[in-house]
Structure 1
Amino acid sequence: MIVRKMEEKDIEAVSATCMASFLRSVADTLSEEGISTFSKIAASNAFLDRMKGDNLILVSEKNGKIEGVIELKEGRHVAMFFISPEQQKKGIGRELLSSALNHAKVETVTVSASLSSIPAYEKYGFECEGEAAESAGLVYQPMEIKLNKVMHATSA
């Protein structure tokens, strides 16, 4: 498995990976509006636009196949983080998150976690911060991770 920056040739596979994982784990907890909102965010053209901006998008690739993606917005916020459903619980998420956090520009990185992903983020060291909320049909729990704690935890 290699972790590298997303390239334009990866966009279709990245979009498909996000949608497959979303449809399996999150979609049935949301309204039609939330599903529509997410579909627009995960569309290939939306990834292309964000890739050209200040968002770092990393992919995990094995044998030429995209297995996961993470997007770090402005070096401070995890915007997208999905692993192919059949590749989950194999360490790909931990590897992607670790690589993305190496590019963080702040000490505290945030994420608006889907409610079904809270346990995974907690496993990675994120903590809930505030109350769950909704935006354009997407229900999320604000979470954050303090990087100095993570660095001490992994070096101990």
Structure 2
Amino acid sequence: MAGEPRLRIYRPEDAPGICRVALACFEDSIRPCYEPDGCQAFLAYILPEAIAARQSDGCSTIVAEWEHEVIGVLELRDFSHISMFFVEPEFQCGGIGRRLLTRAVTLCGKARPDLTELTVFAAPRAVEAYRHLGFSADGPERVESGVRFTPMRVKLR
């Protein structure tokens, strides 16, 4: 890939692209780890209208864009928890995730200067990627409503 993807704050027209990226990642690595009710919950969570609704309900989102297409997304809840973090499979391992996380940490620091850590519920196949980004497990893997995850956190200071 020549050049770098552009990172920017969510715009309403991004919701379908975010849904597409999340769905590609879900099919690539998440679906096999979730129970049927977890799959149903995830698919409802990534609907464009659900993504748009969360933006006015305590979430802030950063997108990575390449040639006018969304290729990555990081959604923050209350500037303290990563509620969605995906990079299109063909663009993974190229530093886009790290750039999204760095931008998210900057946003969190501006919105909540007292914040000392960022949390995430990592899907089973994402745990190693989060470890690579500096996160550590904050308890054992759990299953809630059919969704398997490991609670993780990263210290910001």
Q: Within the alignment, does 1:126 sit opposite 2:130 as a pair?
A: no
Alpha-carbon distance, 1:65 to partner: 1.1
Alpha-carbon distance, 1:79 to partner: 0.4
Alpha-carbon distance, 1:135 to partner: 1.5
Instruction: Give the percent of matched residue pairs that are identical in Structure 1 and Structure 2.
Output: 28
Q: Within the alignment, does 1:146 sit opposite 2:155 as a pair?
A: yes
2 CA distance for matches of 1:57 and 1:129?
Answer: 24
Residue 9 of structure 1 corresponds to 13
2:71 paired residue among 51, 67, 73: 67
Alpha-carbon distance, 1:103 to partner: 1.6
- Aligned residue type for 1:30: Y
TM-score, scaled to structure 2: 0.92
2:82 paired residue among 58, 73, 78: 78
- Runs of 5+ in structure 2 lacking a partner? none
Alpha-carbon distance, 1:68 to partner: 0.3
Alpha-carbon distance, 1:132 to partner: 1.2
2 CA distance for matches of 1:114 and 1:132?
Answer: 9
Q: Alpha-carbon deviations, 1:88-127, whole Å to 9, x = none?
A: 1111100001101112221111000001100000000000
Residue 53 of structure 2 corresponds to 49
Count of residues in Structure 1 that have an aligned counterpart in Structure 2: 148
- Aligned residue type for 2:90: E
- Aligned residue type for 2:13: K
Q: Within the alignment, does 1:90 sit opposite 2:94 as a pair?
A: yes
Q: Tell me how large the CA RMSD over aligned residues is.
A: 0.8
TM-score, scaled to structure 1: 0.92
- Runs of 5+ in structure 1 lacking a partner? 149-156
Q: What aligned pairs does 1:96-135 form with structure 2 within 5 A after superposition? A: 96-104=100-108, 105=112, 106-135=115-144
1 CA distance for matches of 2:142 and 2:149?
Answer: 6
